[in-house]
Structure 1
């Protein structure tokens, strides 16, 4: 049964997807910061975003309690001790009415920088006693940096007003499906990092690396109901947040996770706390510390200095510590339990110090992932000893080689190492993912398919050619505990080789056809239809008409038909899964279901790389999930909503936004017109095609003019001689037609060409007018049609927008695989098509022809002597 969407009308406000909103805010913020360093300006933008969040959180709690805006104005005062204590217990802090973010906006021109300073001071003073660790000093970076926003209070006020007006658009109510605030926050951090150079490494782990580490951890912990996770170098806190989100997908309870975070740099430590709180995590589940991870061990089972303080162990540790940092281990107790079992890292490089600290805090049955430079895999000395101990004590579970230039601020290649305190295996999985990325700007970036390929390889733990290999401890011992990835697996393709016999005598080496073994397995008859034996190790082509052989092979026909059948009903599946009760849909769960279904269908289609297909789905999912998020946030009415189409134009040397018609919030006008207004769209296209033909014909006539013609027509050409001037051409043609009719002129004459160009120009003007009228009519009709769509029409349009291109791309993969085989065989045939014997024969024939030509030459005595010497050389050849 066809699924349809029930809709309600009414919504009219402009809506942006979280991606569009984030990009808009970044562009504005990047312009606003002017000469302020990106690394500093991020603290101001993100600080005010956090203040907006906690301010609106307090208003939300009071509204749920039944309070009105007037009630808040009356009772939200510092002198109301009962209200202060209530909010401190409920949310951990108190903000008076005068200091609310919304009150700042209400003040308008009366707002002053002094309002911010007073609010930040009051906030720090009114934190609940049980939430000091989470909130105390969280605005210090913002407070101390306000003076950098301008040399005077007036300039500072103006700068802050610009910021709060910019971020007021960000909705602060987050849920699992539509976390706009979290997305914008993460996006801004990533963009500031991209512009911060080397300083970016202090606070940012690329989102894709964070997701990779989080998915590995979440898969390991998926059956646990209560989880403790820890990041000892927390930066912006994104690693912890992504793990929390991944784990929540499995157990569905975000409050079952305790977050431990430690960060040395104060400004970055504040980012961690802000990020965790803004993601809706219960402050009681956030335990943080601003200190040096290596100097003093943390976290502890309890914080009372008068009691025995036992080091806390957690279910998962994740970290991206500073690479090869110098450290002074003389400050460390020589019996420090973090290091006494494995050894002390050298003072020149703290990489293994961080790793051992992390491992020490992993619970039995727990897991850790850490980003490190490649050097930890093979450097000797103290690091070699630590590496040996880790291997012999069976802690290193997997090593993942990442692409170079994937982190902001450094181009060095890095790895993710996965370790466990207890393991069933005694081998190590080594993955070379260094070639799995997409270039984005100056950096490399893991794609969704790259992440899934890695996570699945760890889950399945098996050898994958040119990608992953399970290496025994015995082999690692034989390599003297050197874990350098190329020793065990390489992503590089085999070096091209040349067969001597085939090069001399022709034929195709059988060994070179082995690269297509998967194809020969899928299409057993194809090989015999293509080749016959030539020698024991060589074959030769039966027919050069490869296209016919491929087209007529029954197994290839069956393969394409099977692939088509597998995905023939996929559209119906997608529609059933995504368009039924769309407002109640859990986006994360739906994505997992769709991926699982797609992989199940691909299992019956050999040769196709399921991760390449997954990437196509992942790209489409960005659009699909963005639309679903908006629908869930605003209701189905947004599907039929239209909004002003705002474009940027320059007026008086200033960029301003002006409205040019309308656009659909969810459904693009061109899609609605193409699907539902075919008659009008076809009529417009017909006129547009005719217009294009007229323009092309005019250009063709002009380009046919010679230089002599240009000289004769100089008075009616523009200055660049690229076209006729309209008025002069019209006058010229008028005089020509006084003398005789157009048909009386020769069609190759310049007179005829000028008259015809004028006629075409007149037709062009009429057609342009007609096209513009029809475009306007279609635009108005499309707007009306969009606003009055039926549920059946909405379903049809969403199916086209979400699924049409996706399914087309998926269905092309089997054909692409056949084409790859066809091309591969053609390349091998071409490689040995011309043998050395053929070349030698061609050279000999050419020499003979040249010698024969030399016999016919007549010259003086000395020249003939030279010609005879040349003939002798040719004869020796």
Structure 2
């Protein structure tokens, strides 16, 4: 299984296990056990590296062992903690039915005692939430033991002991947190920033930090730590040594603070590079010092980047903050809304050449009072670099629209880039989600710092002053859709206004001969062709455009193969991803009408799967491509869910793909039989519909109670009886036809089942015996072809939209007001004529005659 599949499996199982426990609470238990397994596996690996074997570990890895052979002190020195053999995660797993929840309680208590003094800040209290929550997993020891046992068996599937496994572990951890957040309602905001928003902020910061040898990054409201980790991971792409990044994290809630520490440690970050603090960011600024000697060890914290997603518009105690160095230059945020208090805290901790990104509610852009004064000071002191308006309903637990604000201590330019990215998203469940192309477009716009119609504007300081320091996005960027307007003359007399054809100017520029082929006239034009679709499709400039598009991307498949397949075992996956993305954008340099970000989305969407495959290949070797795995499914057995094998599946290559490419003839034969089988039910219906009610009365034993289906076990006897009674030849033939179809249906089902089983085993054998050339061809079909074909299809997609818009405009004025008036008069006359034919009482006829008059009377 790749990491996506494993994460999905663990989430599904964990979600079923949690039963009635709230998602926000249950996450602390499962993530706590994952962290314990990580530390336990790490210690075991360290022991094996020292030459210990399983017997040595069992005998000597305990708190009572003779110091001369004890590993306790050296492990505490190297790892910062010690776990005795009896408390190792693997020991719990191997205990089987002897395992009890009390083993966990003992292990967690022992861990707390055996933390090295040098690692107290990192590990102390990290399992408190898990320890206190064990009792909630069941009503008694037996039920708690069952719940914990199921959970640790599930977690045991996660690999945790190598560089590659850190990525898998990190992915699964993030995946679980994301899914718990989606189920945690309003509490989700306490611990999670959606991954896509996190990536957006990461890319903005990493671009600014390019070229630095060492980096310090800080999140003062760290939550689960995922936002901070994504910043580091993205920045590391541009560094030679990722161990030269220091992570500073502060979090108020202790259980969420534990998530931060776990997350950072499990990513393989050196303990010396993790500096965390459980405290109130606004009340307790980061006075980094050694408690034993606070005066001489005090070190103010200044970092290269600050990133935060603080709680929105929460109350805070601003008493006595007038002299706080974080706020003296700008002002004090109102007690009812701490948004600017968090922002100024972040800004204060930036180095002069640093950068920060912060998520805030829209209100900070235009609210007055103390906030208006702070905003004015930030603008005048030239700290605000960019403002990005995000889509509404993008954060779990709140639907309010938010922004990302980018600030710096020192800038050369004095303008502010304002981006309205509120329209770029995809709907996913109840929430909106930024796509890869939306993130890329925002980051590219910040890099290029350019005006884009209905999307972005570089706003001068003078304009902001003229607007009284109001930064509300719609004041500067109008992203609203243009309202539909109607030309009065065209509405009355027909014709297509030349002014409205102007909205297609970018198309006429690329297809210069097309407008003349479609329309005739000057100010108000008429259609030359009834078939707009065919005219556009066959236009010489359109055909040339499609040809140019094909030529530009014709070698994309081969290019992807040369990078991805030829070097699958060695390539740097993130860097390769960026190289290919840049290549795709480069191919669009002088191509208009097609959005390059659409092509980028096709690539990114597919690359998620490709990267998972590459990780497997780089971990297991190219042999992973020719491997098949048991296909395990959950089935009910004696009222319990049991995992059983149901055939096989490709480790990397899907069976369907291999059948399509390598076993196409067998696949086609099977498909033909399946199609024949699918047609038989409709043939039964045709026979039944041909029977009269009298016929159905005669053959009641051959039909079900509702007379809408045959009872085939009785048909033969009914036919025999009909023949003996000399009944209708047509009726007998109908039943014989149904019987024949039923025999064919049985035969087809048998052949299909046998064929599917044989094809399944042939596919397994084929995958396991693939040649190098076949492997390359199949990887091409799985990886490269979807990207290549998807990007080639973009020209057709664009032309479909263009054609639809032209057709809509052509019909807009097809019916004039004069036409409508004539149609109304004809309808009135027709109605009056019908009314005149009615009869009724004297009063009825008086009323009808009056209505006829109102309709204009009847022509003589």
Shift of 1:333: 4.1
Distance in structure 1 (CA, Å) of the matches to 2:737 and 2:434: 58
Of 485, 506, 510, the match for 1:518:
506
Change (3 A) 1:398 1:603: same
Of 200, 212, 226, the match for 2:188:
200
Change (3 A) 1:210 1:649: same
Shift of 1:645: 2.1
SS at match of 2:437: helix
1:495 is aligned to 483
Q: Which moved more, 1:361-370 or 1:515-524?
A: 515-524
Q: Which moved more, 1:864-873 or 1:386-395?
A: 864-873
Pair 1:479 & 2:467 matched: yes
Shift of 1:874: 4.6
Q: Is the 8 A contact 1:684 1:774 kept in 2?
A: yes
Pair 1:322 & 2:311 matched: yes
Q: Which moved more, 1:242-251 or 1:626-635?
A: 626-635
Change (3 A) 1:418 1:649: same
Pair 1:120 & 2:108 matched: yes
Distance in structure 2 (CA, Å) of the matches to 1:758 and 1:785: 40
Change (3 A) 1:419 1:704: farther
SS at match of 1:583: coil
Change (3 A) 1:307 1:786: same
Pair 1:215 & 2:203 matched: yes
2:666 is aligned to 680
2:809 is aligned to 828
1:37 is aligned to 22
The 5-angstrom pairing of residues 689-838 of structure 1 reads 689-737=675-723, 749-838=730-819
Q: Is the 8 A contact 1:294 1:357 kept in 2?
A: yes
Distance in structure 2 (CA, Å) of the matches to 1:43 and 1:691: 52
Distance in structure 1 (CA, Å) of the matches to 2:421 and 2:852: 61
Distance in structure 1 (CA, Å) of the matches to 2:665 and 2:849: 81
Structure 1 residue runs without a partner (length 5+): 1-15
Distance in structure 2 (CA, Å) of the matches to 1:846 and 1:666: 67
SS at match of 1:605: coil
SS at match of 1:435: coil
Q: Which moved more, 1:410-419 or 1:835-844?
A: 835-844
Shift of 1:578: 0.5
Q: Is the 8 A contact 1:448 1:615 kept in 2?
A: yes
Q: Which moved more, 1:771-780 or 1:64-73?
A: 64-73
2:326 is aligned to 338
Q: Is the 8 A contact 1:301 1:312 kept in 2?
A: no
Q: Which moved more, 1:819-828 or 1:710-719?
A: 710-719
CA offsets 1:376-420 (integer angstroms, 9 cap, x no match): 111111001001111111111111111111111111111111111
TM-score scaled by length of structure 1:
0.93
Distance in structure 2 (CA, Å) of the matches to 1:863 and 1:382: 75
Of 453, 466, 472, the match for 2:454:
466
Distance in structure 1 (CA, Å) of the matches to 2:299 and 2:49: 41
Change (3 A) 1:451 1:177: farther
1:107 is aligned to 95
2:239 is aligned to 251
Of 388, 401, 404, the match for 1:413:
401
Distance in structure 2 (CA, Å) of the matches to 1:541 and 1:621: 45
Distance in structure 1 (CA, Å) of the matches to 2:821 and 2:780: 63
Distance in structure 1 (CA, Å) of the matches to 2:147 and 2:838: 90
SS at match of 2:83: coil
Change (3 A) 1:299 1:520: farther
Change (3 A) 1:244 1:872: same
Shift of 1:847: 4.6
CA offsets 1:402-448 (integer angstroms, 9 cap, x no match): 11111111111111111111112211111112221111111111111
SS at match of 2:569: helix
Distance in structure 1 (CA, Å) of the matches to 2:851 and 2:25: 78
1:612 is aligned to 598
CA offsets 1:255-306 (integer angstroms, 9 cap, x no match): 0100000001111111000000000000000011111111121154777412
SS at match of 1:307: helix
Q: Which moved more, 1:340-349 or 1:769-778?
A: 769-778
Distance in structure 2 (CA, Å) of the matches to 1:314 and 1:289: 16
Shift of 1:751: 2.8
Distance in structure 2 (CA, Å) of the matches to 1:137 and 1:856: 94
1:669 is aligned to 655
Q: Is the 8 A contact 1:327 1:347 kept in 2?
A: yes
Pair 1:85 & 2:85 matched: no
Distance in structure 2 (CA, Å) of the matches to 1:558 and 1:629: 41
Shift of 1:95: 1.9
1:65 is aligned to 50
Pair 1:347 & 2:328 matched: no
Q: Is the 8 A contact 1:174 1:279 kept in 2?
A: no
Shift of 1:736: 3.5
Change (3 A) 1:854 1:126: closer
Q: Which moved more, 1:787-796 or 1:691-700?
A: 691-700
Distance in structure 1 (CA, Å) of the matches to 2:746 and 2:812: 57
SS at match of 1:356: helix
Structure 2 residue runs without a partner (length 5+): none
Q: Is the 8 A contact 1:398 1:418 kept in 2?
A: yes
1:311 is aligned to 300
Q: Is the 8 A contact 2:699 2:718 kept in 1?
A: no
Q: Which moved more, 1:798-807 or 1:69-78?
A: 69-78
Q: Is the 8 A contact 1:534 1:540 kept in 2?
A: no
Change (3 A) 1:860 1:483: closer
Distance in structure 2 (CA, Å) of the matches to 1:648 and 1:364: 57
CA offsets 1:146-183 (integer angstroms, 9 cap, x no match): 22223333333222222211100000135369711101
Pair 1:559 & 2:545 matched: yes
1:12 is aligned to none
2:441 is aligned to 453
Q: Which moved more, 1:299-308 or 1:279-288?
A: 299-308
Distance in structure 2 (CA, Å) of the matches to 1:848 and 1:144: 85
Pair 1:550 & 2:530 matched: no
Distance in structure 2 (CA, Å) of the matches to 1:352 and 1:80: 58
Q: Which moved more, 1:273-282 or 1:671-680?
A: 671-680
SS at match of 2:406: strand
Q: Is the 8 A contact 2:289 2:297 kept in 1?
A: no
SS at match of 1:555: helix
Distance in structure 2 (CA, Å) of the matches to 1:555 and 1:351: 55
Distance in structure 1 (CA, Å) of the matches to 2:791 and 2:363: 41
Change (3 A) 1:180 1:646: same
Change (3 A) 1:849 1:777: closer
Change (3 A) 1:707 1:619: farther
Shift of 1:708: 4.0
SS at match of 1:234: coil
Q: Which moved more, 1:280-289 or 1:489-498?
A: 489-498
Q: Which moved more, 1:673-682 or 1:813-822?
A: 673-682
